Amino acid sequence: MILNLVKKLILMGSVGVQHKLSYGLDRVWGYEPSLESIGELIQLFSYNQDAAKNEELVRMRYEASIKPESRDAFAAMFYDSRQERLDELTLPDEDIKKIETKTLLLHGLNDQVILFEDTSYKLFQLLPHAELHLFNECGHWTQIEKSEPFIDHILAFIKNG
């Protein structure tokens, strides 16, 4: 089994388990480039709603999203049948229970894109060697909104976990 080659897993706001497509993920996967739409996505990604008011951040994200290579890659990943695509990214619970690899799960409690209750919490219950770090006052951008503790948890897990 290929997982025998993997010594540790680190998952951040991850899917992997069967769950209903959230409003936030549906909006992300259905993104049509505009300044207004990217502002809405930043609101969904971030706990700190001031981020969506940062005109420089909104413009930078928008300009990145309209580059042809970005648009093409995005379109290839996400298609109209979004729940079907999401289901393709999951494993049956019984298969997840068999994963013996030490796993670090990181998630923002206020994530509106990948809901903690539907994903990381279930993975934590299923994975026999998982540890979970849940960040309060944090959305989907855990690595940005909680960068120092995020890095600290990863480094400790790599070193000791």
Contact partners, residue 66, CB within 8 Å, separation at least 6: 33
Number of structural domains the chain divides into: 2
pLDDT for the residue numbered 161 = 56
Spell out the per-residue pLDDT of the chain, length 161, in tens: 555 788 999 999 999 999 999 999 999 999 999 999 999 999 999 999 998 899 999 999 999 999 999 888 887 877 678 999 999 999 999 999 999 999 999 999 999 999 999 999 999 999 999 999 999 999 999 999 999 999 999 999 999 95
For 45-101, the three-class secondary structure string (H helix, E strand, C coil) is HCCCHHHHHCHHHHHHHHHHHCCHHHHHHHHHHCCCCHHHHHHHCCCCHHHHHCCCC
Provide the residue range defining the domain that includes 96.
Answer: 1-22+89-161
**Is the same domain home to 71 and 100?**
no
Q: What is the pTM of this model?
A: 0.89
Query: Of 42, 77, 112, which closes a domain?
Result: 77
**Is the same domain home to 94 and 68?**
no
**Is the same domain home to 93 and 161?**
yes
pLDDT for the residue numbered 3 = 54
Q: Please give the structure tokens belonging to residue 115.
A: 């809901």
Q: How far apart, in whole angstroms, are the C-alpha atoms of residue 94 and residue 128?
A: 12
> Residue 23 in contact with residue 140, Cβ under 8 Å?
no
Q: How far apart, in whole angstroms, are the C-alpha atoms of residue 138 and residue 99?
A: 28
pLDDT for the residue numbered 2 = 56
